[in-house]
Structure formats: structure tokens, C-alpha cells
Amino acid sequence: MFNREKNDMTTETPLPYDSSKFKAPSFSGKQRASRIGKPVLLTIVNTPKCGKRVAVAPKVLEQLGSPTTVQVAISEDGVALGEHLPENDARFTLKTLANKSVIYSAPLVDSLTDSFELDFSGRSSISFGECSLMETEDGEPVVLFPIKAQQPASLPLPVQSEDIFDEGELS
């Protein structure tokens, strides 16, 4: 029994569990299996109640030099993040939430949702577990998250080299 004064469970003799008084909950759905294997590197959250935001894994930001602000660009290949992107004046502040850095920007989430025709029906977020490390002509690191779009967006990034990595290779 929970003891409010001590704020813990008491060690009194436990009550007997009578299984005839309990039954399993009835529902038509099954528990969704958790995603095991690929790490989550980028998550786009789009909900009416809990807001719109983009969360980035810390290991991704380490590749960019752990900036406090980033720039975002969209291409037909996906979404690029960098501290300094060419021909891009939009800058987003990163806030810390749990173990992720988060961009709170409804217009950014709307733009990503529209550009890649992301379907949030029946879900509040979409996560991505792959990214490529790129470099601008000025030697600035850029991370590209490949997102397949049915409608290509524009804004290609000039690149000198490309290295593909996943969470395991970032450490």
C-alpha cells in the first residue's frame, strides 16, 4: 500500500491477488512494436495539441561543431542542416529537450510537410535514421537527411564531398 506520509510503498503484508476479479483489457488493436535497430537522428513532430518542431540527435550536431543555431535547406534529395549554408539567411535556434536539440518552428515543419508530402495521419511524428555528411565549397560541414518526395523541392546545395554515416559511425 502506498504511504503518503513516507512517499513510498509500505512493507506491510501484501494483499492477495485474486485473478478471478481481474481480466485482461479488451481492445481490437495490438501494441505497436518499438523501433529497434536504426537510431533516430531527425524527428519531425506535427501535432495540433503538442505543437510543431524538429528534433535533432546530439551526435548529428557534433558533426556540425555543436552549434546553438542552424540553417535548414530543402532539396529534392532531402533536408540539409548546417551552421552556415550558402545563400541561406534563415537561422533557427536550437533548444534542448531531453537528449535532443529541438527547433521550435511551425513554418519550418509546415514547409517540410508540404515539400515532401509527409503524411501525419494517425501519427504525431515521423523519424529518420539515415544521414549523409557533406561539405560546402567553403569547407563548412552539412548533414543531409534523405527524404523521398513525390514532389521535388528546389534549393540544391553545392557540395565537394559526401560521406554516408549512421549513428554507430558518429561516435
Averaged pLDDT score across all residues of the chain: 77
In tens, the pLDDT along 153-170 reads 333 333 333 444 444 444
- Predicted local distance difference test score (pLDDT) of residue 70: 94
- Predicted local distance difference test score (pLDDT) of residue 162: 40
Residues 6+ apart with CB under 8 A from 96: 102
Question: What confidence category does residue 27 fall into, taking pLDDT thresholds of 50, 70 and 90?
Answer: low
Distance set, CA 139 to CA 47, 55, 128, 164 (Å)? 37, 25, 25, 17
Query: Do the beta carbons of residue 31 and residue 25 sit within 8 Å?
Result: no
The phi, psi pair for 45, rounded to 5°, reads -105, 130
In tens, the pLDDT along 38-83 reads 688 999 999 988 899 999 999 999 999 999 999 999 988 889 999 9
Query: Do the beta carbons of residue 39 and residue 167 sit within 8 Å?
Result: yes
- Predicted local distance difference test score (pLDDT) of residue 1: 43
- Predicted local distance difference test score (pLDDT) of residue 29: 54
**Span 94-119, mean pLDDT?**
91
- Predicted local distance difference test score (pLDDT) of residue 98: 82
The residue ranking higher by pLDDT, 70 or 150, is 70
**Span 19-36, mean pLDDT?**
59
**Span 115-141, mean pLDDT?**
89
Burial of 126 (0-12, 13-18, 19+ CB in 10 A): middle
**Span 82-86, mean pLDDT?**
90
